[in-house]
Amino acid sequence: MSEPVSDPGGASATGSGSAADPGPTAAPITFVGGKGGVGKTTLAAAHALALADAGQRVLVVSTDPAHSLGDALEAPLKDEPVRVAPNLWAAEPDADAAVRRRIAQVVEDAEKAVPPEVMPAVRRHLEQAGASPGMAESALADLLVDRMEQVGRRWDALVVDSAPTGHLLRLLNLPTLLTPWVVGLTRQRERARRAEALADVVGDSEEEADPLVERLHARRHRLEGAADRLRRDAVVRLVTLPRRMVLAETARAVERLSEAEFRLDPVVVNQIPAGDAAGPDTAEALAATRERFARQGTVEVPLQDAEPTGLESLRRLAAHLAAR
């Protein structure tokens, strides 16, 4: 049975069953991504379990709005990390709850910084903004930054079951994209404060600290740190299938991630049929995949006899990930 965790504390005992080598990834943060339906959630769970079986304290989280991580682990998951095996915790963040928390924080800051008569308009604006998809992605990015900051203290490794490729690219770039926006807001707020000070007839009174400006500065520094850590401590493990159309999308993702200076693991080619069951189209697509990612490398995972859910099935799957 799963149980909530407030802090995993020190190193836990190694999990039951044979500890699979977690494979080529040595980075403390791993994003597992790819086109929807390629099996990235299952492979993210298998990789996280391999790390946990090797003795690391591991958190695996899903940032895909269509959560299926709990199904792969055969465990009910929550917004907060839940222990699902020795050394392994998992979470499925609630994007709606994250948006509500963010809006509540903005309202609290606004109440300290704007006149009371303006607050009804502020609340209406925030209600409209809260319904936008961008707000949900931004709130999930904040949650992810929270988890990243815990790596090295609360967790030894973080594995992220990310949304399909387009969402992954936006998520990875969001800290960089948001930083200029936060800088702009900070400057606007500081100009407004200076104007208020000039208009203040008291003159000699010491200017009070502006909690909104302080929070904007803190957010900017946090986002800058997150963007730097993504490039320093994270790798992206893309999952594909032996199919031409999936290969094309994976190739585009590799190019865009490489241009953004993210480190890439070997591409995982999943669900490869055995022997004659592959057929000529699959064989040709597999050969094309090997050729396209020859420099980066590939890891090939055979098609499983049954849906690989549950810890033992995931351990067997992790053994294929470790094979080079």
Domain CATH for 162: 3.40.50.300
Domain assignment present for residue 2? The answer is: no
Task: Report, as an integer, the average pLDDT of 78-102.
Answer: 89
Q: Could you tell me the sign of the dihedral formed by the alpha carbons of 204, 210, 213, 214, in that order? A: positive
Domain that holds residue 174: 22-99+130-322
- How far apart CA 196 and CA 14 sit, in angstroms, is 60
Question: Quick check: is 36 in a domain?
Answer: yes
What is the number of domains present in the chain?
Answer: 1
Q: Is the residue at 54 inside a domain?
A: yes
pLDDT band at 85 (very low <50, low <70, confident <90, very high): very high
pLDDT exceeds cutoff 90 at 162: no
Residue reference for tokens 């699902």: 84
- Of 10-19, 167-176, 305-314, which gets the smallest average pLDDT? 10-19
Q: Evaluate whether residue 290 is within a structural domain.
A: yes
In a domain, 7, yes or no: no
pLDDT value at 271 more than 90: yes
The residue with greater pLDDT, 220 or 8, is 220
pTM greater than the 0.75 cutoff = yes
Residue 194 lies in a domain: yes
Q: What is the mean pLDDT of the chain?
A: 81
- CA–CA separation, 314 vs 34, rounded Å? 19
Which of 54, 33, 31, 1 minimizes the C-alpha distance to 318?
Answer: 54
Task: Report the pLDDT averaged over residues 279-289.
Answer: 92
Q: Classify residue 3: in a domain, yes or no.
A: no
The DSSP symbol for 141 reads H
Query: Does residue 157 lie in a domain region?
Result: yes
